[in-house]
Chain A
């Protein structure tokens, strides 16, 4: 009987601590906040291709995805590259965008910090170009996927988009957008697609 109680205690302790880590009880770091994109000009991802570290949540832990072509160079092993087409909300010209991202060196499972640094460079024919930078928070995604796996649903997210972007910033712009202000956010969609929403206001 004492052995059974000890095993039960051990397992309970492991599950409760693991759950607590995934929920980030310490809240030492900022997390994604949902800023409404309410701007006259909007760009939203319509299609994208990528290479490098998988953006599937377990990729942030260093697990490689056989479906994704990695970079062979040691310095690029955990880098990710994405090329995307963005649709404008009014049916006007589409934009071409490139995203570069890589996990931060100070990520920590104990502190619940699983973040990538990311930067977007967008070129919009007839309008101008934009530089965006922020961080992608993978902890809520990973927690969502692992909790679903633990409840027998398999390693998948819940059927609602998850916000990923922390501290989004518009760092620079050119052409007619030189005086533009704006913000952006990225969502992880249930179909395992990451979607960018970018809103711009002309100053």
Chain B
């Protein structure tokens, strides 16, 4: 009787272990990475975002923040301080496949000598690979603009495209007016480097609604 109990006890344990081993936990779909290896040992990888179709909408309300559902821009506008905004996009590789999610936080940041400047920080998450964090000073104020009591993304604000159809947004702090790749996790762990952000207008409608592409070109190397 004891032997029967022990044998079936072990069989029950083995059954649970087998079920746990074969249980299909989430696995992320992965596409081949489009990375160019540079002669100095670094690596170059570019990411693409199309607006407005890659803007991700969030439903619900944040207490106290104007979450502009129509344009997918969340704006926090405190009294006596400049507004800050959060935008979320699908992230694509150079072959236009959706590989992850990108978020951009923008605002006027206090500098070392008290002067404020427009700055952005990007977080790029590719679920099958990891997370990359980027930061830059902006060459222009690319934060949200209040028009007629409503917050608009800079790309849709009146006059934004008056002087051209291709703007380089990055303006430091890295040499050459490039932004900094600060840190990463997963496959991007211990990678640092530089990047540039370029906005290209493809179409501008009469109501100022625009359509275009954001290009993020990163050049990274492993920290020693």
Find B182's partner among A8, A13, A78, A172 (CB 8 Å cutoff).
Answer: A172
Contacts A98-B105, A121-B105, A126-B81: A10 and B11 contacting too (C-beta < 8 A)?
Answer: yes
Cβ-defined contact, A131 with B182, below 8 A? yes
CB distance from A177 to the nearest CB of B (A): 9
Chain A, 162-188, CB within 8 A of any chain B CB:
171-172, 174-176
Contacts A81-B58, A117-B130, A133-B185: A102 and B28 contacting too (C-beta < 8 A)?
Answer: yes
Q: Which of B24, B103, B127, B135 has the most CB of A within 10 A?
A: B127
Specify the chain B residue showing the minimal Cβ separation from A11: B12
Specify the chain B residue showing the minimal Cβ separation from A69: B59
Chain B CB within 8 A of A89 CB: no
Q: Which of B25, B27, B85, B100 has the most CB of A within 10 A?
A: B25
Chain A, residues 88-111, CB within 8 Å of chain B (1/0): the string is 000001111110111101011110
Taken together as a complex, chains A and B put the C-alpha atoms of A175 and B65 apart, in Å, by: 22
Chain A CB within 8 A of B216 CB: no
What chain A residues lie within 8 Å of B48 (beta carbons)?
Answer: none
Specify the chain B residue showing the minimal Cβ separation from A108: B25
Cβ-defined contact, B86 with A9, below 8 A? no
Chain A CB within 8 A of B164 CB: no
Taken together as a complex, chains A and B put the C-alpha atoms of A93 and B109 apart, in Å, by: 14
**Interface size counted on chain A using CB atoms at 8 A:** 73
Contacts A75-B127, A76-B90, A93-B81: A13 and B11 contacting too (C-beta < 8 A)?
Answer: yes
The binding surface of chain B is classed by DSSP as: mixed
Contacts A109-B23, A117-B130, A129-B135: A14 and B13 contacting too (C-beta < 8 A)?
Answer: yes
Cβ-defined contact, B20 with A110, below 8 A? yes
Chain B, residues 63-92, CB within 8 Å of chain A (1/0): the string is 111010000001010100111111010100
Cβ-defined contact, B58 with A121, below 8 A? no
Size category of the B interface is 35 or more
A16-24, A30-38, A145-153, A194-202 - interface stretch? A16-24
Taken together as a complex, chains A and B put the C-alpha atoms of A10 and B64 apart, in Å, by: 56
Chain B CB within 8 A of A62 CB: yes
Cβ-defined contact, A119 with B9, below 8 A? no
Chain A, residues 110-129, CB within 8 Å of chain B (1/0): the string is 10001001010111011111
Taken together as a complex, chains A and B put the C-alpha atoms of A150 and B15 apart, in Å, by: 19
- Of the A-B pairs whose beta carbons lie under 8 Å apart in the complex, a sample of 18, sorted by A's number, is A5-B4, A12-B9, A46-B64, A51-B56, A53-B26, A71-B101, A96-B85, A100-B125, A109-B23, A117-B131, A117-B185, A119-B185, A129-B109, A129-B119, A129-B135, A131-B123, A172-B183, A174-B135
Chain A interface residues (CB < 8 Å from chain B): 1-2, 5-18, 21, 46-51, 53, 60-62, 69, 71, 73-79, 81, 83-85, 93-98, 100-103, 105, 107-110, 114, 117, 119, 121-123, 125-129, 131, 133, 171-172, 174-176
Q: A47-B61, A109-B20, A123-B121 are in contact. List 14 more A-B contacts (CB 8 A).
A: A9-B12, A46-B63, A49-B59, A73-B90, A75-B100, A75-B128, A76-B90, A76-B101, A95-B76, A98-B103, A100-B103, A123-B84, A175-B109, A175-B119
